[in-house]
Amino acid sequence: MSINLLDFDAKGLTSFCAEIGEKPFRARQLLRWIHRAGEADFDAMSDLAKGLREKLSAAAVIEPPKVISDHTAPDGTRKWLLSVGAGNGIETVYIPETSRGTLCISSQVGCALACAFCSTGRQGFNRNLTVAEIIGQLWWANKALTETFTSEAGRERPITNIVMMGMGEPLTNFENVVTSLDLMLDDNAYGLSRRRVTVSTSGIIPAMDRLRERCPVALAVSLHAPNDALRDQLVPINRKYPIRELLGACERYLQSAPRDFITFEYVMLDGVNDSVAQARELVQLVRDIPCKLNLIPFNPFPDSGFRRSSANAVSRFRDVLMEAGLVTTVRKTRGDDIAAACGQLAGKVLDKTRRAPRSIAEAAG
């Protein structure tokens, strides 16, 4: 069976080259061809010796997930559905803005955390993605966008930022995610800054500590509630890792983080977590943590049981936070007309958990 070179970071490619009798510098050449140039044909790698190209063709492949569909919304948001075999699909989303282009990458087929307001969680969980399937999303998007991209002032490439906020909980697929992060940061591959690569987590505390030691990038924490009672219902992992312990992990992470703040994500659910009193409670909860609050208007999906908070409710909530001196933004809804908005990614998942769909009463507590 051929080896997929998309599974390897620099260290892995160096070991592979040694196994086929090649020197370490060949790994750097391969990284540049595969990731910088987006090349999957060994014969097109012109500065590799013919003998090496023949070895590579015999032993290896460069094989990203296959594209099932490709949709672009009127606002420029683009969503790819990619096949990862056995009838499963994952979704990847590109969000263009004036000064940057952000790619939202999935880390799992589905998600086992079952957050009440998330379409992906409603689909259940099948498996972790491999490195090739994670970095393959960036490989595909970079290739597709470069082919159609017209250079804009101040931006030399279409993808300037990565957010691990797609399908799945990245920190429960730790090793594959970190190897993928290494590739994103490698100057011979994608050369992104740690400040421009963000991992989002629902609060897997031991893995947060490991990430701080192994590959600290920007961190976003899905908070969504100002107290344990409500967060237990909305984000069930809170029952294992409650808020105070989570905030302690955030403080530890800041010791090595490339940014001097943690981003707390807070989805705005009408009549659930969006009152002025809850905003004041949130202020008391996070005021001693260097942080930014990102308020996310809920993006509806069928039978969710939740409604988006009104614009007035979001404004009132934001104003309480800002008056307390907390940096607060309201995320602009993008791509909801192609189900590419935050919380809407569902892909095609054959659920290994066989979890029955949760009722609205169970989800809301």
Residue at a domain's end among 12, 38, 61: 61
Asked if 41 and 126 sit in the same domain, the reply is: no
Asked if 52 and 86 sit in the same domain, the reply is: no
pLDDT score for 155: 47
Asked if 88 and 207 sit in the same domain, the reply is: yes
Asked if 119 and 38 sit in the same domain, the reply is: no
Asked if 182 and 256 sit in the same domain, the reply is: yes
pLDDT score for 360: 25
Does residue 104 have a known ligand-binding role? no
pLDDT score for 362: 32
pLDDT score for 348: 54
Residue at a domain's end among 15, 44, 61: 61
Q: What is the pTM of this model?
A: 0.89
Asked if 201 and 92 sit in the same domain, the reply is: yes
Asked if 108 and 33 sit in the same domain, the reply is: no
First to last CA, the chain: 49
Does residue 169 have a known ligand-binding role? yes
Catalytically annotated residue among 17, 22, 91, 133: 91
Provide the domain limits for residue 154.
Answer: 66-364
Per the structure, how many domains does the chain have? 2
Residue 285, domain CATH: 3.20.20.70
What whole-number distance in Å separates Cα of residue 59 and Cα of residue 18?
Answer: 13
Asked if 108 and 20 sit in the same domain, the reply is: no
Catalytically annotated residue among 17, 104, 250, 342: 342
Asked if 195 and 299 sit in the same domain, the reply is: yes
Asked if 300 and 338 sit in the same domain, the reply is: yes
pLDDT score for 31: 97
What whole-number distance in Å separates Cα of residue 183 and Cα of residue 215?
Answer: 11
Asked if 145 and 171 sit in the same domain, the reply is: yes
pLDDT score for 179: 98
Asked if 181 and 240 sit in the same domain, the reply is: yes
342 is catalytic: yes
pLDDT score for 246: 98
Q: Where are the alpha helices (DSSP H) in the chain?
A: 10-19, 25-31, 50-59, 119-123, 131-148, 174-185, 205-214, 228-234, 243-253, 276-286, 311-323, 360-364
Does residue 250 have a known ligand-binding role? no
pLDDT score for 365: 28
Residue 23, domain CATH: 1.10.150.530
| Nearest of 112, 215, 231 to residue 162 by alpha carbon | 215
What whole-number distance in Å separates Cα of residue 97 and Cα of residue 190?
Answer: 19
Does residue 291 have a known ligand-binding role? no
**Average pLDDT per consecutive 10 residues, the chain (365 residues; last block may be shorter):** 94 97 96 96 96 96 95 91 92 92 95 88 89 97 80 64 96 98 98 97 98 98 98 97 98 97 97 98 97 94 89 98 98 58 50 42 29
